[in-house]
Amino acid sequence: MTKKDILIGFLVGVVASLFGLIFAIQIFGQSDDWGLVIEESIKQGFFTKLMSIGALLNLGAFFVFIRKRQDNRAKGVLIATLLVLALTLVIKFLR
C-alpha cells in the first residue's frame, strides 16, 4: 500500500505544480495566451522562476498530508518537488 500512497502523493505534487505554473502565468503574464507568455518567458529567461513559483502549491499539499499523518503521500509530494527542482536546474543551465 505504501507504493500506491507514494504514487498518489507524486501525482498530487505534479498536478499542484502544473496548477501553480498556470496560476503564476495568469498573474505575471502580460497576455491571456499561455503559449505566448511561456514563449516570451523562455526568451527573456524567467520561465524557471515561474516554475519555481508554481511549485509553491506543493508546500500546501505536503503539509496537508503531514497533518493527516499520511507520510507516504507526503513523500510522493516531496519527490515531485525534487523532480521540479531537477527540471528547473536542467532548463536553467542548458539555456
Helix 2-28 to helix 71-94 angle (10° resolution) is 50
The answer on pLDDT for 1 being more than 80 is: no
Give the domain ranges of the chain: 2-94
Could you tell me the three cell numbers for 81? 518537488
The answer on pLDDT for 19 being more than 80 is: yes
Which amino acid is present at 44? Q
What residues have CB less than 8 Å from 24, skipping those under 6 apart?
Answer: 50, 53, 54
pTM across the whole model: 0.86
Please write the tens of the pLDDT for every residue from 24-75.
Answer: 888 887 777 778 888 888 888 888 888 888 889 999 999 999 999 999 999 9
